[in-house]
Structure formats: structure tokens, C-alpha cells
Structure 1
Amino acid sequence: MVATLKDVAARAGVSVKTVSNVVNGYSFVTEDNRRRVQEAIDLLGYVPNIGARNLRKGRTGFLTLAVPELANPYFAELCGLVMNAAAEHDWTVLIEQTGGVRERELTVINAAHRSLVDAIILSPIGLQPTDLAEAAPGTPLVLLGERALSAPVHHVAIDNVAAASAATRHLLDLGHRRIAALGDQPGPHGTAALRLRGYQSALQAAGLSVDPALIVPAAAYSRAEGTAAMRRLLSLADPPDAVFCFNDMLAVGALSAARDRGLRVPEDVAVVGFDGVDEGNYSAPRLTTIAPDKAAIAEAAVGLVRAALQDGAGQPQDVVTPFTLITRESTRSFAH
């Protein structure tokens, strides 16, 4: 037979309410009663019915986390961290993959199945500001990574402009002057636009003009796109002496293209990535990268969900989490 709250209460010699207070972690229980209840739980093998508890609270116990692609190590790592943070509060995370397609992202924020989860955490790529302004009300929504989308919802992100500027300044400080940006994408509202802005501002602050020939687009943030884009850069009559890649997968592809061309990294061309994924620590050479604090992003997102459900949505919050420039062998001190 499955043990119940009543069974635990009878065994411990306390009320059902006391057992409930212990199970829910409430502080107003004497240490003696807490000890007796815990001994009875251990003896009887009692397991709380989380589903019933959520039903009483008007919760489902589920969160939706929607990301562009699980094949990208950054999002895979982030998903694991969000799941860990949510598990601390008895939430199960349902993962959705949008492909960065606007229609799929709209489905996530507007679909009827929103009523089946307590909140939605979304990393958008295709959404426009007007899409968010018209999102279906009711279920709390937290956006990850898109501070350029000005809309009345919670945001958690690093400062992409400052981070891209830091990556570019690192290359400038090493003596590089012909620095390329790899990973531009169309549209004024995405991550690429913010990182491009940081790259341009660092060059301009150093008194350098921005050469449009050194800004290379990437249809996707993948190793293959990074390889193809780097080949285009290296084919220029005056190729770059350093490349700032807008994510680590592009940078890994760029390293491959440089090796194929017989170039030494960083002696002939330095490479910096963005995202701080584990793969960069094992590339050849190991990759210098901007590493967002992904654990802080996950914890902040889940924290905003908890606050919204406990206290109401309130005013939208814009949480800025830290980043770190990790320097490795793909860049080094450089002198002309």
C-alpha cells in the first residue's frame, strides 16, 4: 500500500497539518515534531504527491523552455542549467525547438497549450517587437538573450553590445588592426545586430574606420557557415589579421578554414568566439571566447517565473547577467 499523509501523521503522533508543514518545508514546526515526521516518512517510504500539491496551488508543475536548436552546444548547455534550476522548485521542463522560425516562436507564445504550463521561457530569434506586444495574456513569459526586443515582458540577457566590444578591444589591445566580424544577420532586433554594434563601437573608439568588406554574414551559426565565411575573408586581396566570430561554432569553423589554408592561429590570424561552450576548450588551438554566465541566466529566468506566479506579473524586469572574456591560445600578444 502507498503511504499517505494520514499514515505518516499516525505513525509520528502528530496532526496531518504538521506533516504537511514538514513536507512543504515550512519553518513553524518544532524540531521534535520535524524529527518524528521525518522518521515516519523514512520508515513508511512516503513520497509526496507533487501533482496533487500543484493542483491545490493552481499550478501544473511544468514549464516550457523554447530554444532555436538543441544541436547548438550553447542552447544544450543552457537547457540543462534551466532544468536544474527548475527542479529545485519541483518544476518539470518541457523543451521545444523552434529553429528560430518566427511562426514557431509565435506558436509558443500564443498557442492554447499555454494553459498546460505554468510559464514559458523563450530564446527568440525570429520574433518582432509587435509580436510580443500582442502575445496572449495569462501565462508568464520570460525572454532570454534579446534585449533589443523592447516589449512588456521579462528579459534575461547579457549586455551583447558590451560583450562584443570587449572581444574586439581584446584584439585591438593585442595589436590587430584589420579585424573582421563574422556572423552578421539581417534585421535590427537580433543578437547579431547587437554584437555588430559592439564590434563597430570598439573600432571607432580606437580611431579605426569600419570596413564593410570585413563584415561577413552567416545564414546559420554553425561550423559549416563559419568555415565558408572564413574562406571568403581569407580570399580578400587584403585579408584580416583577426576575426571576431559571433558564436563559438562559427569560430570553430573559422579555425578549420585557417588550418586548411595553411595559416597559423594566432600568428597569421587570431580568432575570438562567443558563448563559452565547452567545445572551445578542446579546439585546436583552444578558443578565446566571451562566456556568458549561463548558470546565472538560468537561475534568473526561473526566479522571474517564481516571482510572477507568487506575486503576480508586476512590472517587467530586465535582468542583466555577467559575462567573462576567457583568453586562450587562439589569441596572443602580437607586435607588428
Structure 2
Amino acid sequence: MAVTLHDVATLAGVSIKTVSNVVNDYKHIRPTTREKVLAAIDTLGYQPNISARSLRSGKTGVIGLALPELSLSYFAELADAVIRAAERRHLVVLIEQTAGGDREREIEMLSSPRLQLTDGLIFSPLGMSSDDVGYLNVSYPLVLLGERIFGGPTDHVTMRNVEAAKAATAHLIARGRTRIAVIGAHEGEVVGSAALRLRGYLDALAEAGIEPDESLIRYVGLWHRLDGAQAMHELLDSGVEFDAVFGLNDTLALGAMRVLQESGRRIPDDVAVIGFDGLDETKYSLPTLSTVDPGRDEIADMAVDVLVERIANRDAPPRQYLTDFSVIGRESTAD
């Protein structure tokens, strides 16, 4: 017997109308209620009937967006940009979080029954790697974001991490800084944002004839403010001399900047600081934080456009797109 709205409503402890509202993505639903209904849909394997218009067109007008965690400002601002891009194309976005980029959660999400509510998915993995490329062979339109998997079977929109990180480091070198610490490296990482941005940092040093110093490279587990602050405490405690800091994302840089100020270091007089991501909050830190805008709005626009094209034509070969970036100099580097 097919699972019905009534079955879902009974399991979730809500009315049939509430289940219908959740299925149709009505906005004015309490988050707790929405989660109960979606959990019941997952448990029962309910497949909702699509409206008559959707049946005729074969489309729902809904796209999925799967991100590691919205508590990180970059992903929150990316989600906002994707929603705005989708609205301009009269599309609704269903957002999934993958538990901070947990690999198993990401793989599970790729076969989630909730994706039946969508026409396609924009997916930013953080835990998966090139070894998991086979999981991207899905039956629905899929656009990949990020730097974890290259050369897969899907369209891929990403940023110029190496070039942008090189430009950020060169920005510091151009201001006379030669002892540049980098915060946010990942031990043993070969592919990923941290590895690519570290490569750009090293490329800039080499081009300027500056010998890299391993003691200036600080490794972290996550890219939160706490990690940036802890890494800066460790750097200061080590006694290593440095006159600049490159945070591999803005959140790390903001955490490091707080510790520098608490230690009595003047920014940028004693230590210049630059981040990466172009977060809105960097305009309001004290001092304002220099950063790299990796083209987040362009990534969102392009990802939605590419997904719409893929929905219309599933037979075209997969494509890769790179967005432009810009270095934004502010008070933390005396600009």
C-alpha cells in the first residue's frame, strides 16, 4: 500500500493540512513542526503527489542546496546568495545541512527521499573526497561546489583558491611584510580549500624570493573563530617573530585578530592581517579586516544558472566553471 498524507500526519502528530504545507514548502511553518514532518516522510518513505502543473511540466520549481553548516558565516551568506539567485528565476530553495561536512551524512544526503521534492541539487561537500566520486553518479541534476572533488561526473562551480591566496599574500608582501604567518592549514590535506590556499601562499613567497618558514604555518581542525584564536595563542607562545597574518578564511582571521589585540600588538602597525571570503562582518570589525572576495555572489548565480540548464538538458557533458576574485584592502593592512 502506498504511504499517504494521513500516514505521515499520524506519525508526526500533526494535521494532514500541516503535512501538505510542509510538502509544498510553505514559509510560515514552525521549524520544529517542519522537522517532525520531514522526519516522518523519511521514516515512511512517503512520495508526495506533485501538483497538476508540476505533472504537466515535469518540474516542481524547487531546487535543493546542501551545505556543511550554516553556523559558519561563509555558508550562511552563500545560502542567502543562492536563495536570492533562485528567487530571480522564480525557484524555491530547500536547504539541507550535512552536519559540519560529515562524510557519511553527505553520502546519505545524496540519496535522501527529500530530493524527490526538488528538480535538482546544488551540493557543497566538505567530508567527501576524490575517492568518493562514484557517489556523484545520481539520477537527478547535480551541481557541485567547493574543492573536495574535481573531475567528477557533474557540473562544478568553484573559486580560484590558489590564485586568490597568492594575491592575498602578495598584498602583504607589497606592504613590506616578510614574516607572514598563515593560520588554517590542514595537516596532510592535498585537495581542499586549505591545501589550495596554502599553495597560493607558498607560491607568493617563492615569487618574492622569501624562504618559507614551517614555524609560521599553523594547523587547525576547523575554521571557526575559536580555532583562529587558539592558533594565534600558540603562535605567540612559540616566540616566533612575524609581522603579518594570513587567515585562510575571515573567521579564523577575526579570531586571531582578537588575540593579537589582547596581547598588545597593534594592527596593522605591528602585525598586518588579511582574511579570505569577503564576509559582510569584515566591514565592521575594528579595525576593518582586509580580505579576498572569492566571487561568492557569482558562485551562487552561476550555480543556479548551471543547474537550471542541466535540468533542461541532462545529456550535455559535465562542465567546470571558475569565478573571479578581488583583494579588498582595509584598515588591517593600512589600506
TM-score norm. by structure 2 comes to 0.81
Please tell me whether Structure 1 or Structure 2 has the larger radius of gyration of its CA atoms: 1
Unaligned runs of 5+ in 1: 1-49
Matches within 5 A, 1:1-336: 51-98=51-98, 99-146=100-147, 149-186=150-187, 187-332=189-334
Classify the secondary structure of the residue corresponding to 2:238.
Answer: coil
Q: Deviations over 1:292-324 (max 9, x none)?
A: 222211110011111111122411111111111
Counterpart CA distance in 2 for 1:146 and 1:313 is: 24
Q: Deviations over 1:165-221 (max 9, x none)?
A: 000001111111111110011421211011011001111111122211111012111
Counterpart CA distance in 1 for 2:287 and 2:129 is: 38
Residue 148 to residue 139, structure 1, CA distance change in 2 (3 Å): closer
Residue 223 to residue 200, structure 1, CA distance change in 2 (3 Å): same
Classify the secondary structure of the residue corresponding to 1:267.
Answer: coil
Task: Give, as a single letter, the amino acid of the residue that structure 2 aligns with 1:320.
Answer: L
Task: Give, as a single letter, the amino acid of the residue that structure 2 aligns with 1:83.
Answer: I
Q: How many residues align?
A: 284
Q: Which moved more, 1:216-225 or 1:257-266?
A: 216-225
Counterpart CA distance in 2 for 1:90 and 1:287 is: 35
In percent, how many aligned pairs have the same letter? 45
Task: Give, as a single letter, the amino acid of the residue that structure 2 aligns with 1:315.
Answer: P
Residue 298 to residue 290, structure 1, CA distance change in 2 (3 Å): same
Counterpart CA distance in 1 for 2:279 and 2:264 is: 26
After TM superposition, give the deviation of residue 275 of structure 1 in Å. Answer: 0.5
Q: Deviations over 1:121-144 (max 9, x none)?
A: 111111111312333421111111
Q: Is the 8 A contact 2:107 2:135 kept in 1?
A: no
Classify the secondary structure of the residue corresponding to 2:222.
Answer: coil
Classify the secondary structure of the residue corresponding to 1:106.
Answer: helix
Task: Give, as a single letter, the amino acid of the residue that structure 2 aligns with 1:331.
Answer: T
Unaligned runs of 5+ in 2: 1-49
Name the Cα RMSD after superposition: 1.6
After TM superposition, give the deviation of residue 112 of structure 1 in Å. Answer: 4.1
Counterpart CA distance in 2 for 1:122 and 1:185 is: 22
Counterpart CA distance in 1 for 2:148 and 2:137 is: 20
